[in-house]
Structure 1
Amino acid sequence: MEQVIQYSESELILLLSQRNEAAFSYLYDHYSGALYTSILTIVGDQEAAADTLQEVFIKIFRQIDSYDSVKGRLYTWMLNIARNAAIDTTRSKGFQKTKQNQELSENVYDFAGSAEIKSDDIGLRKAVHGLRPEWRVLIELAYFEGYTQDEISKMLDIPLGTVKTRLRAALKELHKLIKE
């Protein structure tokens, strides 16, 4: 039976700063899914999101020594790197050209004959982007990714009560944004 390795955040940071390959594999295995989801939400293209995710992990590898635990959790630091990289991707000339040159057939037939209403079709995701970043992440994880509040609490390492309070505030704000 294979032994499952678990690291505390401080152990993980120490090993990462020592350039420990097992620690980077652990980091990728445990955080790439959540970071990819955040990047994909901003970029909107799976291939570009996957490329951006790889760039994010390279930045994390190179900049791990700049992480300061006094300023926040490791996940929050990585999420900020991912968010900034995703925004940079959308602003890049290459990405802009790809979007302009996207073949019509890629999107036209996706929804042909579909009576199903998708959240993207009614602008819900766009409204979610109008929320504060700490609320947006919670809404995306809870409603678009299907995580429970308890899972989100553990994933983001914040108290369950804080998750509930922030989600409630986010939903109220989202309601206001949609009504406008």
Structure 2
Amino acid sequence: MQQDGLILALQNKNEKAFERIYELYSESIFGIIYSIVNDEKIAEEILQDVFLKIWENASSYNSKKGRFFTWILNIARNASIDQLRSRGHKNSLKNLKAETFVDILESRSHFMGKADAIGLEKYINILKPICKKLIDLLFFKGFTQKETAEELDIPLGTIKTKNRACINKLREMLNTSNG
């Protein structure tokens, strides 16, 4: 079943489609969650919550607003950050190395195998290291631009400019591949 058909079946509450989506995405999503919370047990709990939210909110997914993986990733990211904030672990986030996400992206055993299966590897490989660090801190770890500037010891204006450039590069790559 192609991805569009799989998503439609999920939106129609088809359990087999849900199981297939879990098979396709759970490993990648777990890796992302784990990179944020840095605790296997908590990551497993959040993963289950994320897939429950996917099941319950599948009808809210709209392909015109973005890719399915991005939609799932946003659910996972938000759930992870909410969990950390609710437990008062914001400071522990800052202690995680910015390389954590980069390591996951570059490790074939964790993320890249699944990323390649859904077509992300070619985009990730093109990104400059600074873009990977910015995506890690701003998107996955929930840092503000100011916190990111402090963490990387780069002026705030430079962070804003580089972030915009990285996002524009990703948009350009995605638009080129969809065009």
TM-score, length of structure 1 as denominator length:
0.62
Please state which structure has a larger fraction of its residues in helix: 2
Sequence identity of aligned pairs in percent?
Answer: 34
Segments of 5+ residues of structure 1 without an aligned counterpart are 1-6, 98-122, 130-135
Identify the residue that residue 155 of structure 1 maps to in structure 2: 117
1:43 maps to a residue whose letter is V
1:126 maps to a residue whose letter is K
Q: Give the counterpart of 2:41 among 44, 47, 53.
A: 47
1:141 maps to a residue whose letter is L
Segments of 5+ residues of structure 2 without an aligned counterpart are 90-94, 137-150, 155-179
Relative contact order (alpha carbons < 8 A, sep ≥ 6): 1 or 2 greater?
2
Identify the residue that residue 8 of structure 1 maps to in structure 2: 2
> For the Cα contact (< 8 Å) 1:56–1:82, is it kept in 2?
yes
| RMSD, aligned CA | 3.5
Residues 70 and 46 of structure 1, relative CA distance in 2, 3 Å threshold: same
Asked if 1:57 is matched to 2:51, the reply is yes
> For the Cα contact (< 8 Å) 1:43–1:86, is it kept in 2?
yes
Which entry has the higher C-alpha Rg, 1 or 2? 1
Asked if 1:83 is matched to 2:54, the reply is no
* Number of residue pairs matched by the alignment: 137
Asked if 1:126 is matched to 2:126, the reply is no
Residues 128 and 12 of structure 1, relative CA distance in 2, 3 Å threshold: same
Identify the residue that residue 24 of structure 1 maps to in structure 2: 18
1:127 maps to a residue whose letter is A
> For the Cα contact (< 8 Å) 1:139–1:170, is it kept in 2?
no
Residues 96 and 152 of structure 1, relative CA distance in 2, 3 Å threshold: same
- Cα distance in 1 for partners of 2:115, 2:53 equals 26
